[in-house]
Amino acid sequence: MSEKIKPIDPPDSMHLNAAEGWLGLGDVVSAHNELDEISPELRSNPAVLLVRYEIYARAKNWDSAAEVSDTLTKLFPDIPAVWICSAYATRRKAGGGIPQAREILLAAGPKFPREYLFPFNLACYCSQLRQFEEAEKWLKKAMAIDDKTVRRLANDDPDLQPLWDSLGGTPWKRG
């Protein structure tokens, strides 16, 4: 992987840092403008691509976010976050949807058996698709990896509401 990553030196590193700062302030336009100042040969650097994905995601430009995340999955297939980003953007892009996002996670998930976000997101997708038995199975798998975090996330995730409605509440609150 390291041979694919070129170091980012000033002034390009300053533009990348500024883009991250603008993102932190919620200004996606200024963040995007900063990335455009980076030398063309460094625009495919993973650090730049990750910030570009975040810009597109925050701007809800899902087609572009999906394109960037697809590039990241090809460059870095061993990084779990790029697959989660790809599924998230694919769900929302034009012509995408939950079934396509689900397929991304089903294909990549076995490579990351200790990452709770794969089964958690699969539970969400199955809930939205009204596949409640599958949703429960994935949620239990996610909880087996990180029970506390998954319970916290599950309580607040609207994608799981159909599952909770079908069960009469969350399993830990039904008593």
pLDDT averaged over every residue in the chain = 93
Phi-psi region of 9 (alpha: psi -120 to 50; beta: other; left: phi over 0): beta
Tell me the C-alpha distance between 106 and 119, whole Å.
9
pLDDT of residue 165: 95
Cis status of the peptide bond prior to 77, with omega within 30 of 0: no
Each residue of 93-118: pLDDT tens digit? 999 999 999 999 999 999 999 999 99
Q: Which amino acid is at 31?
A: A
- Whether pLDDT at 173 is above 80: no
Phi-psi region of 8 (alpha: psi -120 to 50; beta: other; left: phi over 0): beta
Q: What is the pTM (predicted TM-score) of this model?
A: 0.87
- Whether pLDDT at 168 is above 80: yes
**pLDDT-based confidence at 4, cuts 50/70/90?**
low
Q: Which amino acid is at 36?
A: D
- Please compute the mean of the pLDDT values over residues 74-93 and round it to a whole number: 95
Contact residues for 56 (Cβ-Cβ < 8 A; gap 6+): 62, 64, 65, 68, 89
- What are the residue boundaries of the structural domains of the chain, listed by start? 1-59
Reference 102, options 72, 76, 127, 77; nearest CA is 127
Each residue of 27-72: pLDDT tens digit? 999 999 999 999 999 998 989 999 999 999 999 999 999 999 999 9
